[in-house]
Amino acid sequence: MSNQEKQRILTGITTSGTPHIGNYVGAIRPAIEASRNSDNLSFYFLADFHALIKCQDPDLVEQSTREIAATWLALGLDPEQVVFYRQSDIPEIAELCWMLNCVCAKGLMNRAHAYKAAVDANQAGGEDPDFGITMGLFSYPVLMAADILMFNANKVPVGKDQIQHVEMARDMAQRFNHLFASNKKPLLSLPEYQVDDDVAVLQGLDGRKMSKSYGNTIPLFLGEKQLREHINKIKTNLLEPGEPKDPDTATVFQIWQAFANAEQQAQMRQAFADGIAWGEAKKQLFELINAELAEPRERYNELLAKPAYIEEVLQAGAEKARQYSAPLLAQLRNSVGIRKLG
Ligand code: TRP
């Protein structure tokens, strides 16, 4: 199958923060698996323009970009097989973003969850509704639409919180086509979101959803000693060794399930029924996670020591990406009337 015929899967990773095992299980691992399916052409990119919305510490933006690129490569993403690039290396995205800004209704953005949540928080605190809200935050879904539409993506794997943004991208594509495309040939494809209900949403150390904002994460590439320490901090209850324990309410078991095969899951279930000590369950959990992550961790550390190599991979990815974005943008410019005069 030629690349032109393949189903296009596209997703972005905001480069703020360090990936944790919840990101790994919920997003990175399934995305890398999907990229191995040769019916798909995957576009995976580092959303560093999106990072600027949340993070105004330049060194952190750089560090996170390096770490996230190294993470995906260390976990086996094959840059030969997918299009792996950094958003800011594709000037066409920023340009399309402006064109979309000029067709996107402001009222649509007023309804975006992230913006509404910020307004609600301000009002609850007696502040001006738009206190501390930048245009970047407000128009964030337009940039995300540009990311998606620039590559005529068909499927966009996202978490539930991002569904609305993909729907907004569809709206913008429709509006753009309505205004500028001839009836028979739409300029922009309408994307669909893809939410995978099978992948686990991991619990964090305190039993709530694992999330940077709760400070309850297990970073993905901790050294062995620190990984063990983090696992030891997972919240349990006061049941003694020998007392049967309920796997389905235990964070230790929930994380176990995300790394274990069917047989290992059944074994641990039985061990809980037999009253395994919390300390022993955690020791086994450490061993299971460590077995999966030890090799990638080594590759990750090697990659981090070679930022010039990572940069080279990203530059090659940008070149590949621009083979798609440059011709489409030329067509879009022409269709809106930005044309050579003679
Ligand atoms: N906004 C997404 C997030 O925070 C990241 C992202 C940016 C994205 N551009 C995208 C995801 C385009 C999918 C498609 O998770």
For 131-176, write each residue's pLDDT tens digit.
999 999 999 999 999 999 999 999 999 988 899 999 999 999 999 9
- Residue the block writes with tokens 């990311």: 147
| Residue 214 Cα distances to 139, 223, 297, angstroms | 26, 22, 24
pLDDT at 183 over 80: no
Contacts of 222 (CB under 8 A, 6+ apart): 230
- CATH code of 7-201+307-336, in short, is 3.40.50.620
**Residue owning the nearest CA to atom 10 of ligand 1:** 12
pLDDT at 37 over 90: yes
221-301: CATH, from 3.40.50.880, 1.10.240.10, 2.60.120.10, 2.60.40.1120: 1.10.240.10
**Residue owning the nearest CA to atom 11 of ligand 1:** 12
Q: Which amino acid is at 220?
A: L
- Is the whole-model pTM more than 0.85? yes
d(CA 13, CA 321): 16
Domain residue spans in the chain?
A: 7-201+307-336, 221-301
**Residue owning the nearest CA to atom 8 of ligand 1:** 12
Ligand 1 atom having least distance to the Cα of 47: 7
What is the rounded (10 degree) CA torsion for 154, 160, 164, 167? 20
- Say what the pLDDT of residue 17 is: 86
How many whole angstroms from 293 Cα to the centroid of ligand 1? Answer: 25
For the four alpha carbons of 154, 156, 160 and 162, in that order, the dihedral sign comes to: negative
Among 50, 68, 196, name the best residue to mutate to test ligand 1's pocket (greatest count of ligand atoms within 8 A of Cβ).
50
For the four alpha carbons of 165, 171, 175 and 176, in that order, the dihedral sign comes to: positive
Contacts of 128 (CB under 8 A, 6+ apart): 122
Is-contact 112 142, C-beta < 8 A? no
pLDDT at 129 over 90: yes
Residues with CB under 6 A from ligand 1: 10-12, 14, 47, 50, 144, 147-148, 156, 158, 162
Q: Which amino acid is at 159?
A: G
- Say what the pLDDT of residue 199 is: 79
How many whole angstroms from 153 Cα to the centroid of ligand 1? Answer: 13
- Say what the pLDDT of residue 197 is: 82
How do residues 243-279 score in pLDDT, each as one tens digit? 999 999 999 999 999 999 999 999 999 999 999 999 9
DSSP string, 55-99: ---HHHHHHHHHHHHHHHHHTT--TTTSEEEEGGG-HHHHHHHHH
Average pLDDT for the chain? 95
Left if phi > 0, otherwise alpha if psi is -120 to 50, otherwise beta: which for 250? beta
pLDDT confidence band for 68 (50 / 70 / 90): very high
d(CA 258, CA 26): 9
Nearest to 165 by CA among 91, 100, 99: 100
| Residue 104 Cα distances to 70, 165, 171, 304, 314, angstroms | 35, 13, 8, 40, 31
Q: Which amino acid is at 167?
A: E
pLDDT at 335 over 80: yes
